[in-house]
Chains A and B, each alone.
Chain A
Amino acid sequence: MTEPLLNVRNLKLDIPVASGTLHAVRGIDFDLKRGETLCIVGESGSGKSLTSLALMGLLGKRIVRKADQMTFDGTELTTMSAKELRKLRGGRMSMIFQEPMTSLNPAYTIGDQLMEALLLHKPVGREAARARAIELLEKVGITAAESRLGQYPHQLSGGLRQRVMIAMALMCGPELIIADEPTTALDVTIQAQILRLLVDLIREMNMAMILITHDLGVVARVADKVAVMYAGELVETGPAADIFAKPCHPYTRGLLRCIPLPGKTERGSELGTIPGIVPSLVGEVSGCVFRTRCDYAADACRNAIPRHTEGAHTFRCIHPDGMRHAEEVPA
């Protein structure tokens, strides 16, 4: 087995707030091999975006990051100097953000911003950078790429801007792309297009990707691995096929019930919901964080929660199979 490209062990993110410390992310582990796609799913506020910003070293100054290990291609990220980290950012790992409308600088042309991404990292001339920008704009499906270089962000639609953001992230040919809900802010009709484009490019260029989303339909189509995040913890991780075939954690099953499946979900039947809200993470958090919303919660849920592992599939629950047997429809 080859060394994973990204290896994260026991990552913790704390945010000091007026009433104490908000434990936004509490000891998560995951790893990713070259060319693999990991989807992190979960509700808003579960710590998905923070986790991705932590990997890029883009957290605000207030947020405290701790990890036993956080390596990229064997290099520890937590102890890296700011300068070394800058070389990595945009060069070997890059990020696509959720907000295409505001993520491009309004004062510079698309061409300038695309070329900057390359010129910051590679000792190439402006001509070569320009050629690369045109090449990538064409790759992300933008027509008349050359004339687009002189346009400003406000002259482009949201879909086009996100294509530009994708092209920008690819300028240096990174090994890892982190895409934080890249389609959430777009029209539904554009969402599928952009996502397909992204996935095709990732496969074509053999890049690893962390895709953050709350759309399980998307996950089913693109993920090699899935990590289900709830209130700052990874409650279940594993190969995508296992997660969809045998979702063990009650929260994962709850999420899956929330999406209608053509042919499977009966017309007129009620869609699943998970009642309640994510608990406050300020102060000490112990036991299972999902217990306040779980149908199978017991007293033991307040204590330490065992981890069940079957191959690469892991989940945390006091019930040995996460009470999956209770929900299975007898064949």
Chain B
Amino acid sequence: MLQFILKRLMLAAIVALTVSFISFSLMFLSGDPAAALAGETASGEDIEAIRTLYGFDRPMLVQYWEWLGSALTGDLGQSYYFKLPVASLIADRLGVTMTLGLCGITFALLTAVPLGVAAAIRPNSFIDRLSLFMSVAGQAMPSFWFGLILIVVFSIKFGMLPPSGASTWKHFIMPTIVLGYYAMPAIMRLTRAGMLDVLSSDYIRTARAKGASEVRVLFKHGLRNAIIPVVSLAAVQMGFMLGGSIVVESIFALHGAGFLAWESIGRNDLPTVQALILVFAMFYIVFTFLADVLNAWLDPRMRSS
């Protein structure tokens, strides 16, 4: 198991390095950074001056090395727009995004897994059809529209929940539902399919033949095996929720990291965009790593491979 974890860690480090290089190159792929910094009215000399000032004239690998070195010590550069260190800018905004992401995935898992299991126990029953309807609706409904509907109903009509902001836990209820509902269908369908497959397997029959109770058969012997692919999916969804909550953050005016990314792209604030891409990618890597470890714990066959 320890060997497995070390192997995965090394793999994660390699992926992280690759991602950091790609996100660094973005600065150059998106045009001349010196020209972007200098603004539209700048003369050629101004641009050259800025180029030397920021060191854009040096070889790209040298710049990358320097950038990586400072990134590792927590220095992600200065925001062009805010004139503040990017690291502290992101740190300020990340709390909201993390809270939202964690709430979203928890909501998705807590609704999708039980529904998926229930649907698998009684295929084609009312609950199965209901869950299918919910997942189709969830997949078809754009989150900005669903978010607005929630605001209309719960904030405007009933006045139960605040429509925007992030100051209390109440502010997070609707964003959590919108974000979580988006991730729910895939988790639910995968749980259902996995559970159906597992429940028709021979070892489930063995468990019944041993005299195990139905609850034990379903959860100890069944769900443990059916949940393995769901773990990997949830990790990817979680990464997506942190980086991709831009729409939800804008609807509910939650000024998180997603919102910051959206703003910074509009302002051509490259160091901030670059750093955000790096941070979101690191989250993906961390969650994938955690999912791998969890899966290896759940499924002994993965440990040896």
Interface residues of A (CB under 8 A from B): 56, 58, 82, 86-91, 94-95, 97, 99, 102-107, 109, 116-117, 120-121, 152, 154-155, 165, 168
Q: Are A56 and B209 in contact (CB under 8 A)?
A: yes
Which residues in B have their C-beta under 8 angstroms from that of A95?
Answer: 209
Please give, as numbers and ranges, the residues of chain B lying within 8 Å of A109 by CB-CB distance. Answer: 300
Q: A82-B214, A88-B211, A106-B299 are in contact. List 12 more A-B contacts (CB 8 A).
A: A86-B213, A89-B211, A97-B209, A99-B202, A103-B202, A104-B203, A105-B203, A105-B207, A106-B300, A107-B225, A116-B212, A117-B211
Contact of B203 among A82, A89, A106, A117 (CB under 8 A): A106
- Interface status of B25 (Cβ within 8 A of chain A): no
Q: B170 an interface residue at 8 Å Cβ cutoff? A: no
B299 and A117: CB pair below 8 A? no
Is B301 at the interface (CB under 8 A from chain A)?
Answer: yes
Measured between alpha carbons, how far is A107 from B303 in the docked complex, in Å? 11
| Complex contact A120–B225 (CB within 8 A) | no
Q: Enumerate B202-237 residues with CB–CB distance to A below 8 Å.
A: 202-203, 205-214, 221, 224-225
Shortest CB-to-CB span from A278 to chain B, Å, is 24
Residue of B nearest to A154 (CB): B301
Q: Which 3 A-B pairs have the closest CB atoms?
A: A90-B211, A90-B210, A89-B211
Total interface residues on B, CB under 8 Å, equals: 21
In the complex, what distance in Å separates the CA atom of A103 from the CA atom of B202?
A: 5
Partner of B211, one of A103, A107, A121: A121
Is B88's CB within 8 Å of the partner chain A?
Answer: no
Contacts of A104 in B (CB 8 A): 203, 206
Q: A107-B299, A152-B300, A154-B300 are in contact. Are A89 and B205 (CB under 8 A)?
A: no
Q: How far is the CB of A312 from chain B (nearest CB, A)?
A: 30
Q: B300 contacts which chain A residues (CB < 8 A)?
A: 106-107, 109, 152, 154
Cross-chain contact B221 with A105 (CB below 8 angstroms): yes
Q: Which residue of B lies closest to A83 (CB)?
A: B213
Shortest distance in angstroms between B173's beta carbon and chain A's nearest beta carbon?
A: 36
- Give the nearest-CB partner of A56 in chain B: B209
In this assembly, does B148 line the interface, its C-beta being within 8 Å of a C-beta of chain A?
no
Residues B211 and A87 in contact, CB atoms below 8 Å apart: yes
Residue pair B299, A116 in contact (C-beta under 8 Å):
no
Q: Does B298 contact A (CB under 8 A)?
A: yes
Instruction: Name A97's contact: one of B206, B298, B299, B301 (CB within 8 Å).
Output: B206
Is there an interface contact between B301 and A152, defined as CB atoms closer than 8 Å?
yes
A–B complex contacts, Cβ < 8 Å, 14 sampled: A87-B211, A89-B210, A90-B209, A90-B211, A95-B209, A97-B209, A104-B206, A107-B224, A107-B225, A107-B298, A107-B299, A107-B300, A116-B212, A154-B301
Contact residues in B for A155 (Cβ distance below 8 Å): 304
Q: How far is the CB of A121 from chain B (nearest CB, A)?
A: 6
Determine if A97 and B224 form an interchain contact, defined as CB atoms under 8 angstroms apart.
Answer: no
Alpha-carbon distance between A90 and B205 when the two chains are bound, in angstroms? 12
Q: Decide yes or no whether B201 CB sits under 8 A from chain A.
A: yes
Contacts of A97 in B (CB 8 A): 202, 205-206, 209
For the complex, give the distance between the alpha carbons of A155 and B214 in Å: 28
A259 to B212, CA, bound (A): 40
Say whether, besides A102-B201, A102-B203, A106-B299, A86 and B225 are in contact (CB < 8 Å).
no
CB distance from B213 to the nearest CB of A (A): 6
* Cα–Cα distance between A152 and B298 once the two chains are bound (Å): 12
CA distance A88 to B211 in the complex (A): 7
Determine whether the beta carbon of B211 is less than 8 Å from that of A120. Answer: yes
Separation of A106 and B203 alpha carbons in the complex (Å):
8
User: Which of B206, B209, B213, B304 is A105 in contact with, Cβ under 8 Å?
Assistant: B206
Q: Which of B208, B225, B299 contacts A58 (CB 8 A)?
A: B208
Q: Is the CB of A168 within 8 A of B205?
A: no
Contacts A102-B201, A154-B300: A89 and B225 contacting too (C-beta < 8 A)? no
Q: How far is the CB of A307 from chain B (nearest CB, A)?
A: 33
Per the bound structure, the CA–CA distance linking A58 and B204 in Å amounts to 11
- Name which residue of chain A comes closest to B300, CB basis: A152
* Residue of B whose beta carbon sits closest to that of A152: B300
Question: With A58-B205, A97-B206 in contact, is A106–B211 under 8 Å at CB?
Answer: no
Q: How far is the CB of B266 from chain A (nearest CB, A)?
A: 49
Which A residues are in CB contact (< 8 Å) with B206? 97, 103-105, 165, 168
* Distance between B208 CB and nearest chain A CB, rounded to angstroms: 6
Residues B210 and A168 in contact, CB atoms below 8 Å apart:
yes
How many whole Å from A77's CB to the nearest CB in chain B?
Answer: 14
Taken together as a complex, chains A and B put the C-alpha atoms of A56 and B210 apart, in Å, by 10
B221 / chain A contacts, CB cutoff of 8 Å: 105
**B221 CB to nearest A CB, Å:** 5
Asked if A106 contacts B202 (CB within 8 A), the reply is: no
Report the separation of the CA atoms of residues A116 and B210 in the bound assembly, to the nearest whole angstrom.
8
Nearest CB of A to B218, in Å: 13
Question: Bound complex: CA of A112 vs CA of B213, how far in Å?
Answer: 16
In chain A, what residue has the closest Cβ to B214? A82
Q: Which residues of A contact B202 (CB under 8 A)?
A: 97, 99, 102-103
Q: Which residues on the B side are within 8 Å of A152 (C-beta)?
A: 300-301
Q: How far is the CA of A168 from the CA of B212 in the complex (A)?
A: 13
Complexed CA–CA distance, A58 and B206 (Å): 10
CB distance from A22 to the nearest CB of B (A): 19
